[in-house]
Amino acid sequence: MAKRRFGISINSDIAMALDEIAKNFGLDRSRLVEEAIRSYIEEYKHFTKKHICRGIFIVRNKGGEPKIDEVFEDYRDIIVSHSHHHIAGECILTVIVYGDSERVTELHKKLLCSCTTRYIPLPHD
């Protein structure tokens, strides 16, 4: 695959952290940035085009558990499974979803209102 060179400016603290990670993993900075961008694109691609989506939400909730249950109830059509754990006084949930990308996006937005949320799409082969 052809490469295209372009320059970016980033905060020096981020650049130093990037250099350290690259060193620890034995990668050059360009490869690490390319992998980070690829991961970012894959994570947010579901927002750009309607499709059948599958993935995992990791949700950290500092309280307000009933709110989460109410949200989950509204999205039963796409929630395949969820598990709930308590770690260091916080609720950590994993939520497996499968369904219309617009519904997954709606759920993501609702979770972001009250929780720290990360969505990891699972690619279709």
3-state DSSP call for residue 94?
Answer: strand
Rounded to the nearest integer, the mean pLDDT of the chain is: 89
List the beta bridge partners of residue 87.
90
Q: Can you give the pLDDT at residue 63?
A: 67
* pLDDT mean over 108-119: 91
Q: Give CA–CA dist 31/37, Å, rounded.
A: 10
Q: How far is the C-alpha of 8 from the C-alpha of 62, rounded, in Å?
A: 36
pTM of the entire structure? Answer: 0.74
> Which pLDDT belongs to residue 93?
95
